[in-house]
């Protein structure tokens, strides 16, 4: 039947939603189902062709107007259904892209839009474009009236001013806005939390309770 | 979205703690910050007083007038910071004594249909104080801890009983604390929303049917 392909797509969307919920990180977007989407679009084209045809037949007077109305209406419903499923799928993906952009991009090093999303091939070209432009929007917001607040920063309220951190990955000398750290693997520091929050988010440091 | 999904409809426990940390609490300072009148008349009079710290988030008046071992009231986050550096000891609130807690436990046991009136932040405050200021209590902390645990369990039982009465219009939860509300929020709000939806849907169906009847 006409809605079945769209149903498959929605099931796929559900699966990726559950995946991202479970891992809590949501930074792994599954492949874009180009094949399936194309098939659905083909279906829609077919449907619209049918309606065109029926319209002609109606005008020629070959059809009962009641039958014609019913056929038109059902075709329309099928198209609506397909549209709904496509939009739901795309919306879910764009939400995941948004959270990706808020979480990872624009942190400290503002200019690595591509370094963070390793799965650039998993995105459709339009999505890549969208991600890039959305990241730019975020940067714009941050450099506007609200520069004093780091909007992409951590959302857990600050509790300790100073924390112990352990270096997990060798990173050489890293410059923070407040001074230079020499990050050698397995060394420990006692630093102000606000200085190293970025490095913790990027995975260089680990907080020690 | 900019806000992660798990924060969109409720507070995280850390945020609850952050809210609670803005409440005032009494402390015994171990340092003196009050400038003596004599000292002020002396060398650098006005400058030192204007150079004193000012806080933008809270009232700094108490902080500037601390005298060692004279109780004063500051916000909790400040008290915890001072405590961490051993510059004050925190005075436990009145209700956080074995006697008072026993009273509220008695109350809880006596009235099975309501909650005793302990402060809205009791769970968070207890957790914070037990962790950071456990040496400041007059009563042994392990006893306090077990009392708090008892209270929590009794109240939780009541909450579970109360959940039977979820309906589509309202719920009365007097004297329930912020943390208890917070852990129930996603569940209760979700269920009540569904109930309300079902109810309103059936109601609008009824009315539309009535209209049809009239039409006929």
Same domain, A187 and A127: no
Same domain, A73 and A125: yes
pLDDT band at A96 (very low <50, low <70, confident <90, very high): confident
Closest Cα to residue A123, out of A154, A96, A150?
Answer: A96
Last residue of a domain, one of A114, A147, A180: A147
B1 in contact with A at a CB cutoff of 8 Å? Answer: yes
Nearest-CB residue to A155 (from B1, B5, B7)? B7
CA B174/CA B171 separation, integer angstroms: 10
Contact B18 A159 (CB under 8 A): yes
Same domain, A127 and A191: no
Residue B42 has pLDDT above 50, yes or no: no
Same domain, A96 and A31: yes
**A81 burial via Cβ count (<10 Å: 0-12, 13-18, 19+):** middle
In chain B, which segments carry CATH 1.20.58.1020? Answer: 93-216
Residue A154 lies in a domain: no
In terms of pLDDT, which residue wins out, A134 or A171? Answer: A134
Contact A159 B14 (CB under 8 A): yes
Q: What is the pLDDT, as a whole number, of residue B212? A: 56
Chain B residue nearest residue A17, CA to CA: B5
Same domain, A196 and A143: no
Interface A-B, measured as beta-carbon pairs within 8 A, has a size of 25
Chain B residue nearest residue A93, CA to CA: B1
Here the CATH number for the domain that contains residue A129 is: 1.20.58.1030
Nearest-CB residue to B2 (from A21, A24, A102)? A102
Q: What is the pLDDT, as a whole number, of residue B44? A: 43
B3 in contact with A at a CB cutoff of 8 Å? Answer: yes
Report, as an integer, the average pLDDT of B110-130.
Answer: 92
- CATH of the domain spanning B10-91: 3.40.5.50
Q: Which residues pair with B24 in a beta bridge?
A: B75
Fold of B93-216: Methane Monooxygenase Hydroxylase; Chain G, domain 1 (1.20.58)
In chain B, which segments carry CATH 3.40.5.50? Answer: 10-91
CA B112 to chain centre: 23
pLDDT tens, residue by residue, B142-197: 999 999 999 999 999 999 999 998 888 888 889 999 999 999 999 999 999 999 99
Residue B43 has pLDDT above 50, yes or no: no
Domain count, chain A: 2
Identify which of A40-54, A189-203, B45-59 has the greatest average pLDDT. A40-54
Residue A126 has pLDDT above 80, yes or no: yes
Provide the domain limits for residue A105: 4-147
Which residues neighbour A27 within 8 Å (Cβ) at sequence distance 6 or greater?
A100, A103, A104, A117
pLDDT tens, residue by residue, B45-67: 444 455 566 777 777 777 778 88
Residue A156 lies in a domain: no
pLDDT band at A199 (very low <50, low <70, confident <90, very high): confident
What Cα–Cα distance (Å) separates residue A205 from each residue in A10, A55, A161?
Answer: 39, 67, 16
- The pair of three-digit structure tokens given for residue A182, joined into one six-digit string: 């020499």
Residue A134 lies in a domain: yes
- pTM across the whole model: 0.81
Same domain, A21 and A110: yes
Q: Which of A191-200, B42-51, B97-106, B206-215 has the lowest mean pLDDT?
A: B42-51
Same domain, A143 and A169: no
């Amino acid at each position: 039947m006409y809605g079945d392909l769209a149903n498959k797509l929605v099931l796929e969307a559900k699966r990726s939603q559950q995946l991202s919920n479970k891992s809590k990180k949501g930074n792994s977007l599954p492949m874009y189902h180009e094949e399936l989407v194309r098939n659905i679009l083909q279906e829609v084209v077919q449907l619209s062709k049918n309606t065109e045809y029926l319209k002609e037949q109606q005008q020629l007077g070959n059809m009962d107007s009641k039958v014609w109305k019913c056929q038109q209406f059902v075709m329309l419903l099928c198209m609506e259904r397909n549209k709904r499923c496509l939009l739901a799928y795309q919306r879910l993906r764009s939400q995941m892209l948004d959270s990706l952009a808020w979480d990872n991009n624009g942190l400290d090093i503002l200019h690595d839009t591509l370094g963070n999303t390793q799965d650039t091939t998993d995105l459709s070209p339009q999505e890549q474009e969208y991600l890039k432009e959305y990241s730019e929007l975020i940067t714009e917001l941050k450099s506007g009236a609200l520069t004093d607040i780091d909007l992409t920063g951590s959302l857990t309220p600050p509790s300790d001013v100073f924390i112990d951190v352990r270096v997990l990955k060798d990173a050489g000398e890293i410059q923070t806005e407040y001074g230079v750290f020499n990050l050698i693997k397995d060394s420990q520091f006692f630093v102000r939390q606000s200085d190293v929050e970025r490095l913790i988010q990027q995975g260089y440091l680990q907080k020690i309770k | 979205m900019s806000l992660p999904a798990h924060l969109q409809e409720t507070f995280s426990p850390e945020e609850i703690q952050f809210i609670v940390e803005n409440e005032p609490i009494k402390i015994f300072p171990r340092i003196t910050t009050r400038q003596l009148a004599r000292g002020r008349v002396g060398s650098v009079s006005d400058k030192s007083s204007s150079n004193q710290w000012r806080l933008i988030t809270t009232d700094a008046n108490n902080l500037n007038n601390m005298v060692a071992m004279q109780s004063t009231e500051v916000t909790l986050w400040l008290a915890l910071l001072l405590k961490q550096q051993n510059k004050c000891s925190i005075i436990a609130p009145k209700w956080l004594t074995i006697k008072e807690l026993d009273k509220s436990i008695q109350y809880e046991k006596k009235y099975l249909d309501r909650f005793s009136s302990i402060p809205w932040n009791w769970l968070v405050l207890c957790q914070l104080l037990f962790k950071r200021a456990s040496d400041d209590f007059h009563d042994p902390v392990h006893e306090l801890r077990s009392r708090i645990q008892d209270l929590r369990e009794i109240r939780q039982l009541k909450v579970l009983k109360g959940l039977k009465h979820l309906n589509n219009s309202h719920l009365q939860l007097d004297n329930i604390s912020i943390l208890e509300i917070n852990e129930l929020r996603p569940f209760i709000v979700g269920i009540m929303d569904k109930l309300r939806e079902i109810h309103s849907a059936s109601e609008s169906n009824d009315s539309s049917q009535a209209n049809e009847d009239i039409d006929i």
